[in-house]
């Protein structure tokens, strides 16, 4: 078991019997967007701690803001959590909205204890009364309403007697607190809005800072793990646990959120990318969302490995996105079968190969995994190779095909280029080559060597395909830093569609999500836009490793 400061705290709590030796965590997404790689870190932590300490981990939707939430998000979150390989305790996922009645009763209890009051200040007045980081706030003129008046007003808030914004319920704590979160924070607000689960049953909704700690307590969570921006909210968390009647006393522990280079992770910005159609949707393969990474060809294993590599710390940092690419490359190297595809085809005609003839080359699907089996790859007189693999006038270090030169066609034959045929515009239209029939399989019986091995497909058998090559969505390391407009920092070359690719016949009619290594080109996944007649492949990651993992 890997350790970190949170597991150390849990270990110590177990030793002291703090929570009776129990470990209960939760993953609490708000269904106001799709999950992203940062959420994967939070899931690995919460589900991982539960697993390591034989505890439980709940999946709870923090669905307290109906205006921004939607069932589409709920469904995508359930799919992503499951796909990543996590299983929540309880048969069904949990929802803070299922606790609305209980949360309301706790508010009534706080009012009864003189610890909460209905405030009738306008939003502007409230802001003014709140004070600043350096100046204390001042008490609202409504702060000393009687318990009965507060109970009556709160009941009428619930009954829908007031418009949005007319009243709020606030905790009565300390308007002079150096911590702004403790200056009589709002607990409930009026929102005449339809909720995706409770419908129109409610027109007051609890604030996150109120609902979250109490929901944790109701579920008897022991360790409530959250990101650092909630550190200053912890006194309020503890205050609510201390003053409301709750069945358990969870403790909040903060950790650093994941930040990645060349990536935006804020849901607000991701939503903007989607709404303004800068990407094709939440699952655009360039998005850092779980659904985008899945469509791109990432495996759950690669994402979990990434989360292991980055670990969990207390201090904010920024992780090189190259590490994420490294993790998926390593994983796909192990599991992806190999195949051949030519992105920008150049035809070669083997003049000494009989017309109308073809043969099947028996090829292993994975060089290190015999259980992956073999397949037959057709070979014939006309072959496509990659346009880049030929140069008429090659520089010194270029070892691939050139006039008069012999190279290997992978798993097939040695071929020699005799002539480059050009059209009237001087462009090369095809190469005339010869092959050596004695080199079937790719090796010469006389032991002569060639300096290059090229991938290829048989022209007569090839299937037309579209290949989508992705690059980073942003061209700067820290998009949106300072006052920068993150949209202006998008990489204009983040998607290149290669329409005229030719792929070997085994690559036709593969199911969406299937992953494969195109020899010499990278790892690719079949896109959901694929049809049997025209497969579409997403490049997950190139073969070349630009990132060195710490040894
Ligand atoms: P917001 O609250 O602004 O809508 P959020 O990203 O915090 O956005 P939540 O749905 O509240 O979204 O997040 C669910 C859980 O995932 C929370 O516990 C949160 O702390 C955690 N989380 C969110 N973003 C990251 C991140 N980048 N790294 C690690 N954990 C994260
Ligand atoms: Mg949040």
Residues 368, 516, single domain; the answer is no
What is the C-alpha separation between 468 and 277, in angstroms, rounded?
A: 18
Residues 143, 216, single domain; the answer is yes
- Mark whether 472 is an active-site residue: no
Q: How far is the CA of 39 from the centre of ligand 1 (A)?
A: 6
Residues 443, 421, single domain; the answer is yes
- Residue 26 in contact with ligand 1 by CB distance below 6 A: no
Residues 123, 202, single domain; the answer is yes
pLDDT in tens, 371-389: 999 999 999 999 999 999 9
Mean pLDDT of 461-472: 97
pLDDT band, very low/low/confident/very high, at 11 (cuts 50, 70, 90) = very high
DSSP per position, 8-26:
HHHHHHHHHTTTTT--EEE
- Residue 221 in contact with ligand 1 by CB distance below 6 A: no
Q: How far is the CA of 498 from the CAs of 210, 341, 343, 466, 470, in angstroms?
A: 51, 12, 7, 6, 11
In this prediction, residue 100 carries a pLDDT of 98
Residues 180, 201, single domain; the answer is yes
> Is residue 176 situated within a structural domain?
yes
Can you tell me whether residue 494 is helix, strand or coil?
Answer: coil
pLDDT in tens, 476-512: 999 999 999 999 999 999 999 999 999 999 999 899 9
User: Which of residues 255, 289, 306 is at a domain's end?
Assistant: 255
Q: Which residues contact 119 (CB under 8 A, 6 or more apart)?
A: 126, 140, 142, 143, 167, 168, 169, 170, 184
Ligand 1, residue 42: give the atom nearest the CA.
Answer: 30
CATH number at residue 516: 1.10.1160.10
Residues 322, 346, single domain; the answer is no
CATH number at residue 404: 2.40.240.10
In this prediction, residue 551 carries a pLDDT of 34
DSSP type of residue 49: H
Mean pLDDT of 529-541: 95
> Is residue 551 situated within a structural domain?
no
Q: How far is the CA of 270 from the centre of ligand 2 (A)?
A: 14
Ligand 1, residue 258: give the atom nearest the CA.
Answer: 28
Looking only at the bridges linking them, the beta strands covering 453-454 and 374-380 are unpaired
- Residue 250 in contact with ligand 1 by CB distance below 6 A: no
Q: How far is the CA of 90 from the centre of ligand 2 (A)?
A: 23
Residues 190, 58, single domain; the answer is yes
Kindly report the protein residue whose alpha carbon is nearest to atom 23 of ligand 1.
39
pLDDT > 60? residue 546: no
In this prediction, residue 56 carries a pLDDT of 98
Kindly report the protein residue whose alpha carbon is nearest to atom 8 of ligand 1.
267
pLDDT in tens, 403-436: 999 999 999 999 999 999 999 999 999 999 999 9
Choosing from 34, 39, 84, 93 the residue with most ligand 1 atoms within 8 A of its CB, the one to mutate for a pocket test is 39
Give the ligand whose atoms come closest to the C-alpha of residue 42: 1
Are 94 and 61 within 8 A, CB to CB? yes
- Residue 28 in contact with ligand 1 by CB distance below 6 A: yes
Residues paired with residue 251 on neighbouring β-strands, in sequence order? 223
- Mark whether 128 is an active-site residue: no
Give the ligand whose atoms come closest to the C-alpha of residue 255: 1
Domain count, the chain: 3
Are 221 and 243 within 8 A, CB to CB? no
Residues paired with residue 349 on neighbouring β-strands, in sequence order? 382, 432
Residues 142, 159, single domain; the answer is yes
Q: Which residues contact 221 (CB under 8 A, 6 or more apart)?
A: 24, 25, 26, 58, 248, 250
> Is residue 518 situated within a structural domain?
yes
* Average pLDDT of every residue of the chain: 96
pLDDT > 70? residue 1: no
pLDDT > 60? residue 549: no
In this prediction, residue 550 carries a pLDDT of 41
> Is residue 460 situated within a structural domain?
no
Are 26 and 60 within 8 A, CB to CB? yes
- Residue 253 in contact with ligand 1 by CB distance below 6 A: no
> Is residue 110 situated within a structural domain?
yes
> Is residue 260 situated within a structural domain?
no
In this prediction, residue 147 carries a pLDDT of 98
Looking only at the bridges linking them, the beta strands covering 414-422 and 406-409 are antiparallel
Q: How far is the CA of 472 from the centre of ligand 2 (A)?
A: 25
Residues 296, 366, single domain; the answer is no
- Mark whether 30 is an active-site residue: yes
Ligand 1, residue 259: give the atom nearest the CA.
Answer: 27
- Residue 280 in contact with ligand 1 by CB distance below 6 A: no
% of the chain exceeding 90 in pLDDT: 97
pLDDT > 80? residue 547: no
Give the ligand whose atoms come closest to the C-alpha of residue 267: 1
Choosing from 28, 37, 42 the residue with most ligand 1 atoms within 8 A of its CB, the one to mutate for a pocket test is 42
- Residue 431 in contact with ligand 1 by CB distance below 6 A: no
Q: How far is the CA of 311 from the centre of ligand 1 (A)?
A: 17
Kindly report the protein residue whose alpha carbon is nearest to atom 13 of ligand 1.
29
- Residue 336 in contact with ligand 1 by CB distance below 6 A: no
In this prediction, residue 480 carries a pLDDT of 95
CA-based R_g, the chain, Å: 31
Residues 420, 482, single domain; the answer is no
pLDDT band, very low/low/confident/very high, at 370 (cuts 50, 70, 90) = very high
Q: Which residues contact 144 (CB under 8 A, 6 or more apart)?
A: 117
- Residue 29 in contact with ligand 1 by CB distance below 6 A: yes
Q: How far is the CA of 544 from the centre of ligand 1 (A)?
A: 32
- Residue 319 in contact with ligand 1 by CB distance below 6 A: no
Are 294 and 83 within 8 A, CB to CB? yes
Give the ligand whose atoms come closest to the C-alpha of residue 39: 1
Select which of 22, 26, 30, 304 is catalytic.
30
Query: Dihedral of the CA atoms 118, 124, 125, 126 (nearest 10)?
Result: 50
pLDDT in tens, 277-307: 999 999 999 999 999 999 999 999 999 999 9
% of the chain exceeding 70 in pLDDT: 99
User: Which of residues 221, 255, 289 is at a domain's end?
Assistant: 255
Kindly report the protein residue whose alpha carbon is nearest to atom 10 of ligand 1.
29
Q: How far is the CA of 473 from the centre of ligand 2 (A)?
A: 24
Residues 353, 410, single domain; the answer is yes
> Is residue 79 situated within a structural domain?
yes
Give the ligand whose atoms come closest to the C-alpha of residue 43: 1
- Residue 69 in contact with ligand 1 by CB distance below 6 A: no
Give the ligand whose atoms come closest to the C-alpha of residue 35: 1
- Residue 212 in contact with ligand 1 by CB distance below 6 A: no
Look up the domain containing 121 and give its range.
Answer: 5-255
pLDDT in tens, 49-85: 999 999 999 999 999 999 999 999 999 999 999 999 9
What is the C-alpha separation between 289 and 321, in angstroms, rounded?
A: 14
Residues 189, 149, single domain; the answer is yes
Higher-pLDDT residue of 215, 551? 215
- Residue 265 in contact with ligand 1 by CB distance below 6 A: yes
Can you tell me whether residue 237 is helix, strand or coil?
Answer: helix
> Is residue 549 situated within a structural domain?
no
User: Which of residues 228, 255, 282 is at a domain's end?
Assistant: 255
- Residue 38 in contact with ligand 1 by CB distance below 6 A: yes
pLDDT > 90? residue 10: yes
CATH number at residue 23: 3.40.50.620
């Amino acid at each position: 078991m890997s350790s970190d400061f949170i597991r150390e705290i849990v270990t110590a709590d177990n030793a002291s019997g703090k929570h009776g030796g129990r470990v209960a965590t939760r993953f609490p997404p708000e269904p106001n967007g799709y999950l992203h790689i940062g959420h994967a870190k939070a899931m690995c932590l919460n589900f991982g701690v539960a697993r390591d300490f034989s505890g439980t981990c709940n999946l709870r939707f923090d669905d307290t803001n109906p205006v921004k939430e939607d069932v589409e998000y709920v469904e995508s979150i359930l799919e992503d959590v499951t796909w990543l390989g996590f299983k929540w305790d309880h048969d069904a996922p949990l929802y803070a909205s299922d606790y609305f009645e209980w949360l309301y009763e706790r508010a009534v209890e706080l009012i009864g204890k003189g610890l909460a009051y209905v405030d009738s200040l306008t939003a502007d007045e409230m802001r003014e009364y709140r004070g600043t980081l350096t100046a204390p706030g001042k008490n609202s003129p409504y702060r000393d309403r009687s318990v009965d008046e507060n109970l009556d007003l709160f009941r009428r808030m619930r009954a829908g007697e007031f418009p949005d914004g007319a009243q709020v319920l606030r905790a009565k704590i300390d308007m002079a607190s150096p911590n702004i979160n403790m200056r009589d924070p709002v607990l409930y607000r009026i929102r005449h809005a339809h909720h995706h689960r409770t419908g129109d049953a409610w027109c007051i909704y609890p604030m996150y800072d109120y609902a979250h700690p109490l929901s944790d307590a109701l579920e008897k969570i022991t360790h409530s793990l959250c990101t650092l921006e909630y550190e200053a909210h912890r006194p309020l968390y503890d205050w609510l646990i201390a003053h409301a009647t709750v069945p358990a006393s969870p403790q909040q522990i903060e950790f650093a959120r994941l930040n990645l280079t060349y990536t935006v992770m804020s849901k607000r910005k991701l939503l903007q990318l989607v709404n303004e159609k800068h990407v094709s949707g939440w699952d655009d393969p360039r998005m850092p969302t779980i659904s985008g990474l899945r469509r791109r060809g990432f495996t759950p294993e690669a994402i979990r490995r990434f989360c292991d590599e980055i670990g969990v710390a207390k201090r904010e940092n920024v992780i090189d996105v190259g590490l994420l690419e490294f993790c998926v490359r390593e994983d796909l190297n192990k599991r992806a079968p190999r195949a051949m595809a030519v992105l920008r085809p150049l035809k070669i005609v083997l003049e000494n190969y009989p017309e109308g003839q073809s043969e099947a080359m028996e090829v292993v699907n994975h060089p290190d995994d015999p259980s992956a089996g073999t397949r037959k790859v057709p070979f014939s007189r006309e072959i496509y190779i990659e346009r880049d693999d030929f140069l008429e006038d090659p520089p010194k270090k270029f070892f691939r095909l050139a006039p008069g030169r012999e190279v290997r066609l992978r798993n097939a034959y040695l071929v020699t280029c005799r002539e480059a045929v050009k059209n009237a515009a001087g462009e090369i239209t095809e190469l005339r080559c010869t092959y050596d029939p004695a080199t079937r399989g790719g090796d010469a019986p006389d032991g002569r060597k060639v300096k290059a091995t090229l991938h290829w497909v048989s022209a007569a058998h090839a299937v037309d395909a579209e290949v989508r090559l992705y690059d980073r969505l942003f061209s700067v390391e820290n998009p949106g830093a300072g006052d920068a407009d993150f949209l202006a920092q998008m990489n204009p070359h983040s998607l290149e569609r290669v329409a005229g690719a030719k792929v070997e016949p085994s690559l036709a009619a593969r199911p969406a999500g299937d992953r494969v290594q195109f020899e010499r080109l990278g790892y690719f996944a079949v896109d959901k836009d694929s049809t049997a007649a025209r497969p579409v492949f997403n490049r997950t990651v190139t073969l070349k490793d630009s990132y060195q993992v710490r040894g």
